[in-house]
Amino acid sequence: MFDRSKSTVLVVDGSAANRALICECLSQLPEIEPLAVSDGAQALTAFRECSPSLVLLDIALQDTDCISLAREMRIWEHLITPDGLTNWTPIVFLSSIMDEEVLARGILAGGDDFLYKPISEVVLLAKVRAMLRIVAMQREIHAAHRQLKETALLDGLTNIPNRRHFDETLVTEWKRCARTESPLSIIIGDVDFFKQFNDLYGHQAGDACLRAVASSLNESLFRVEDMIARYGGEEFAAILPGTDTGGAQAVAERMRRSARELCIPHDSGVGGLVSCSFGVASTQPNSGSMPLQLLQAADIRLYAAKRAGRNQVSAR
């Protein structure tokens, strides 16, 4: 079992003596966990399963074209990037022959450096430290990128998805539901008499109200595929893929009750408390229709709920 707090260095060498020598050398670095294999098939499996931080690859493996193996490793890295960030694992070739043509082919295939045998312990440790510093910097950049992306898709006040995230998700779910022939529902709601709430209690209280309502609406969604976003001002919108009108109406009613049960005082509100009204619209997406039509239908139902007295759900 490998220590995940350490950097795994994959050592690929056909000679058991060489593998033992390299791993013994690497053991001088307490932050490293060596993993030694003897052939190309084992190397590719270990690369996929263990995601090493560095590969030391003997270019003269008997059973394998190591330049092709390096190319396969690079292809694999590009296949496992759901967040759009490509990982880079340094590949250092080990060679007993100083052949410039082989060196050039290896670099073009995705290799990063060469070490010539017999390997100097001092040079090996220096190269490994240098490569792992670059890997550490790459991981820090990726972490910062993910944090920035997450922040860009969240509403700064309520900490739920923002309008941009909502619009992107709606397009994605529209296409998916069209492909799977599944229904798609939209819920649009807002806080009743919110302008009057701000006038009565001030904007700080209004912000606190929006945060509380957003949290209550978010907690009303029980499926991971459903999402609620701040649509604008005091308005919220939810996307419910695979949900028909009846199901969406039940979710909206759960949201309405959840917001009401916050029991936030509002002298100009419905019954002296903060409440929300909701409009629900559902459709079967297809290539001939647009998400905008569904949004407009939900918006129409929201205003129907308000005309009917607020603190209620109106569905089409």
Look at residues 104, 119, 151 and tell me which one is the last residue of a structural domain. 151
CATH of the domain at 251: 3.30.70.270
Q: What is the pLDDT of residues 285-307, one digit of tens each?
A: 987 778 999 999 999 999 999 99
| 176 and 286 inside one domain | yes
Task: Give me 237's structure tokens.
Answer: 């919108």
Look at residues 82, 116, 151 and tell me which one is the last residue of a structural domain. 151
| 125 and 173 inside one domain | no
Count the residues in the chain: 316
The closest alpha carbon to 216, from 249, 254, 166, belongs to 254
| 147 and 218 inside one domain | no
In the structure, what pLDDT confidence band is assigned to residue 22 with cuts at 50, 70 and 90?
Answer: very high
Domain count for the chain: 2
Determine, yes or no, domain membership for 32: yes
| 91 and 208 inside one domain | no
Look at residues 100, 118, 151 and tell me which one is the last residue of a structural domain. 151
| 172 and 61 inside one domain | no
CATH of the domain at 82: 3.40.50.2300
Determine, yes or no, domain membership for 35: yes
CA pair distance 301, 305, nearest whole angstrom: 6
Q: What is the pLDDT of residues 247-277, one digit of tens each?
A: 999 999 999 999 999 999 999 999 999 999 9
* Domain that includes residue 41, residue range: 7-151
SS3 179: helix
Q: Looking at the predicted structure, is the pLDDT value of residue 278 above 70?
A: yes
| 14 and 42 inside one domain | yes
| 111 and 174 inside one domain | no
| 135 and 193 inside one domain | no
Determine, yes or no, domain membership for 158: no
CA pair distance 140, 184, nearest whole angstrom: 39
| 145 and 251 inside one domain | no
Partners of 95 in the β-ladder = 116
Residue with tokens 């409009």: 279
> Which range, 23-37, 58-72, 145-159, is most confident?
23-37
CA distances from 14 to 22, 37, 41, 57, 167 (A): 12, 8, 12, 10, 54
Determine, yes or no, domain membership for 212: yes
Q: What is the pLDDT of residues 167-204, one digit of tens each?
A: 999 999 999 999 999 999 999 999 999 999 999 999 99
Determine, yes or no, domain membership for 156: no
In the structure, what pLDDT confidence band is assigned to residue 84 with cuts at 50, 70 and 90?
Answer: low
Q: What is the DSSP letter of 299?
A: H
Percent composition of the chain: helix, strand, coil (DSSP 3-state, to 5) = 50, 20, 30
Determine, yes or no, domain membership for 121: yes
| CB atoms near residue 79 (< 10 Å) | 9
Partners of 279 in the β-ladder = 188, 314
| 144 and 170 inside one domain | no
CA distances from 94 to 44, 103, 262 (A): 17, 10, 66
| 136 and 203 inside one domain | no
Within 13 Å and on the Cβ side, how many CA atoms surround 161?
18
Q: Looking at the predicted structure, is the pLDDT value of residue 141 above 90?
A: no
Determine, yes or no, domain membership for 238: yes
| 127 and 180 inside one domain | no
Residue type, 96: S
